[in-house]
Amino acid sequence: MAENAPASATRPIGVFDSGIGGLTVVSALRGLLPNESIFYLGDTARVPYGGKSAATVQRYSLEIAAMLLGENAKTVVVACNTASALALPRLEETLPVTVTGVILPGARAAIAKTRSAHIGVIGTRATIDSGAYERALRTLNPEVRVTARACPLLVPLIEEGWIESPITDEIIMQYLGPLLTDGIDTLVLGCTHYPLLRNAIARLLGEKIALVDSAQNCALAVKDLLLRENLGAPEGNAGKLQVALTDPPDAFLRVAREALQLDVGEVQVRAL
């Protein structure tokens, strides 16, 4: 990062999700930007956002983002596909800092990878019903063909820790079989939980299907933003990770921590 970065550059990156799935984005950020401090806030008291109305998701997102600003966040990352789909424009026009969602970075990566311009997208019902990925993909390439599928059972399976399970394999193929039949060559994992299933999905789909991990591509977009805005922490800065939740953690925190090999330290609980 730039040596002449302002003093404010040591402020944390604020990251939020409706729950703990957004720790996949934190893991990608930690790997890519080890000098950066991160404050992660998971709205576990109101998870999931996937079944809520757009107005409710916007209200929750603004409340959680305000809490991140209270932690002196220099930028906000929406590590939730549902909130990115339904609340990003509102956040961008309201917050005094830059905001990065997961959808546009994922769409850009998918357009770069596809060979046949036929892209599959999987996500929660709210994300798929919003059409946000289709809009983003078609803005980048009007000729692209998109096949989208809601996969509501995957998040509960991941949260149970059934990441490598024959049952999970069967359900993945129930969802993805029609996309394969339809002829996709690229698949966007359009939920921040789904990178925890990346190995299983890659094994089941084979090498011919390119996978796009929204968490990794979101982290790359944040890296570019920090460079562009001269907000990157200086080299040698000891990046710290703090995790706070709006309700006490359940067993999924252990699943995520072990799967991502993240040291989350002592988890804070913040009342709404």
Q: Which of 79, 154, 191, 218 is catalytic?
A: 191
Known catalytic membership, residue 191:
yes
How far apart (Å, rounded) are the C-alpha atoms in residues 62 and 47?
Answer: 15
DSSP conformation letters of the chain: --TT--GGGGSPEEEEESSSTTHHHHHHHHHH-TT--EEEEE-TTS---TTS-HHHHHHHHHHHHHHHHHTT-SEEEE--HHHHHHHHHHHHHH-SSEEE-SHHHHHHHHHHH-SSSEEEEEE-HHHHHHTHHHHHHHHH-TT-EEEEEE-TTHHHHHHTT-SS-HHHHHHHHHHHHHHHHHT-SEEEE-STTGGGGHHHHHHHH-TTSEEEEHHHHHHHHHHHHHHHTT-PPPTT----EEEEESS---HHHHHHHHHHT----SPEE---
Q: Which of 25, 80, 137, 211 is catalytic?
A: 80
CA distance 58 to 74: 21
- The residue written with tokens 């591509």 in the block is 217
Q: What are the beta bridge partners of residue 150?
A: 123
218 classed as catalytic: no
Active site residues: 80, 191
